[in-house]
Amino acid sequence: MRPLLLTLLTLPVLALAQEEPPRPKFEQGKADPGAPVPDVAAAAKRLKQTGPDEYELGQIKFNGKTREVRFPSVLNMREGDIEYAVVHENGKTHEALLKTTASAIDLQVAMLLTNYQPGHTGLFDYEKDEVVRKKRESTAPKTPGANFVKLEVEWKDGNKLIRRPFGECLLVKPERKPATDIKQFVFNGSMIQASGFSAELLGSFIGLYYDVTAVINCPGQRNDLDDVWSPNTAILPKEETPVTVIITPFNPQP
């Protein structure tokens, strides 16, 4: 466990949360100005080893070898347009498929400890204007592709364990077909504002409609639209069903 603790203690604060780049102002909502910022020393004290490669940080569970990251949520809505895959229960639940009580700070720290590298590269490949794209993609991971992750969800149906790629849980308008073309998500990493850690302030965990304050975002031609996704009720369980969010490395097929 000591090497992982040393890694945590040596992570610079700016690696945990990037300074806010020059972007359009985002909605402050009902953010709590007293919300915390990433505290490396505090995270080190709370980190628990539960197995040879298994760790827990708050409600976030992760494996240092496989790099799998898990956290609990519940199904939040089955009807209406959705803009987020996951938000905190105090966040924008009126437009999120899942809600969680986990900490966004803990998620960001766990992602870094499992060697994912934050960066916006890959979020705006649909933008044909190179100048515009470079302005929007303000950061890139040191290792190409180290910010790409696979997102899945898991829940129980009786004694049966159901595990699905997140894209299958979404319907896309106007065809209303599952979003099977969403193969990966992007760990862009949230940021520090004057009032605290953005994702913790606003409860933005994983965005579908691009949200600069979210820890993870969805890439692709639809992430600049806020009215194209809805829940795929054909496969989803009932509201308030416990759902585990699973993040693993994205390995593109050759």
29 occurs within a structural domain: no
**How many domains, in total, are found in the chain?**
1
Edge to edge, what strands does the sheet with 170-172 contain? 177-178, 170-172, 229-231
Residue 147: domain span: 2-15+38-249
Cα-based torsion angle of the residue sequence 165, 227, 31, 72 in order, rounded to the nearest 10 degrees: -20
Burial 172-200 (b: 16+ CB within 10 A, else e): beeeeebbeebebbbbbbbbbbeebbbbb
133 three-class SS: helix
Task: Return d(Cα 96, Cα 86) in angstroms, integer.
Answer: 6
160 occurs within a structural domain: yes
103 occurs within a structural domain: yes
26 occurs within a structural domain: no
Do 245 and 71 form a contact (C-beta atoms < 8 A)?
yes
27 occurs within a structural domain: no
Per-residue pLDDT of the chain (254 residues; tens, 9 = 90+): 445 655 554 554 434 444 433 333 333 334 444 445 556 567 768 899 999 999 999 999 999 999 999 999 999 999 999 999 999 999 999 999 999 999 999 999 999 999 999 998 888 877 777 777 777 777 889 999 999 999 999 999 999 999 999 999 999 998 889 988 888 999 999 988 777 888 998 999 999 999 989 999 999 778 888 899 999 999 999 999 999 999 999 987 64
23 occurs within a structural domain: no
67 occurs within a structural domain: yes
129 occurs within a structural domain: yes
Q: Distances in Å between the alpha carbon of 231 and those of 34, 133, 171, 198?
A: 34, 30, 6, 26
